[in-house]
Amino acid sequence: MKLNIVCKLNAKEYSPELQGIVSALSTINDGLYIWDEGQKEAYDMFYECSPDIVVCMDRGISKALSGALEKYKNTKLVAIGKDLPPHSSPDLVCYLGAEGNDKYNLLPAIDIVQCQYQPAKEKYRSEITCISESETPVIHDLSHFAIKCFSLTNRLRYPNYIGKIAPSEITSILSSTSVYLDVEGNNHVLLSSMFNKTPCLSVSSTMFDTELMPQPADTEELTGCIKSIIFKKKFREEHVKKCYSFAKKNTYFHRISDIFSLLGHEKYSEESLLAIGNYT
């Protein structure tokens, strides 16, 4: 018997953590209820769904939701983020670096349901691709390469800036480049690159150690790393193999397995790990 799981979403906000968790939960649980509080009030949703679990962002915990949880005491609330309103008392709080009782250290992971391979497209072709929300001199220092830059929300002023993209375009963009270059420590896009077997580098602080993600000391060293990836087949293949192996061990199925276990649903925790094989 499946659980009644409700995920509260806000269409105006994009959270890779919540998206990844929703994708994995939906697959394991054979579906879930997506709730927009602007369309349906909290008490009406609880009356119709009788949820076993409600998942939402910290800022999405309204007073009405907290009030409904007081009445429906068997429902467990999972909050993503640490900025909790004073009226809330989640059963589990998930964020990077979380410690203590009723908390889960939510490490960055790969949404392998949504990040399956997509073929390259000519309009995305490049030697180096960068997806970021801010500008950096690093891009100008690499002008001797064919670079294309994209963003998800902010418009950038690079000469080689192509435009804003939807998250669904990322895998095709990664398939169309020789090297993905991270400039702001975006672990989620780096993991997508690793899982799609696109060589990647970073000039920022990330979750990866230097064996997996070299830290170039300057532009000259960065240029050398990029040239090695592009022109040295053995180096590129070894780098891709190590990165793909890491990504397969850090999926949102791993994260919801932990979450299910902490909530006392061991059967679903085990099924979450078994589901990985359907996507790798």
Neighbour order of strands in the sheet with 126-131: 161-164, 147-151, 126-131, 177-182, 200-202
pLDDT band at 31 (very low <50, low <70, confident <90, very high): confident
Confidence of residue 11 (pLDDT cuts 50, 70, 90): low
Q: Return the closest-CA partner of residue 240 out of 201, 207, 206, 194.
A: 194
Q: What is the pLDDT of residues 57-84, one digit of tens each?
A: 999 999 999 999 999 999 999 999 999 9
pLDDT digits (tens, 9 = 90+) for 130-142: 999 998 999 989 9
pTM above 0.85, yes or no: yes
With contact defined as beta carbons under 8 Å apart, do 29 and 5 qualify?
yes
What's the pLDDT tens digit per position in 172-230? 999 999 999 999 999 999 999 999 999 999 999 999 998 888 888 889 999 999 999 99
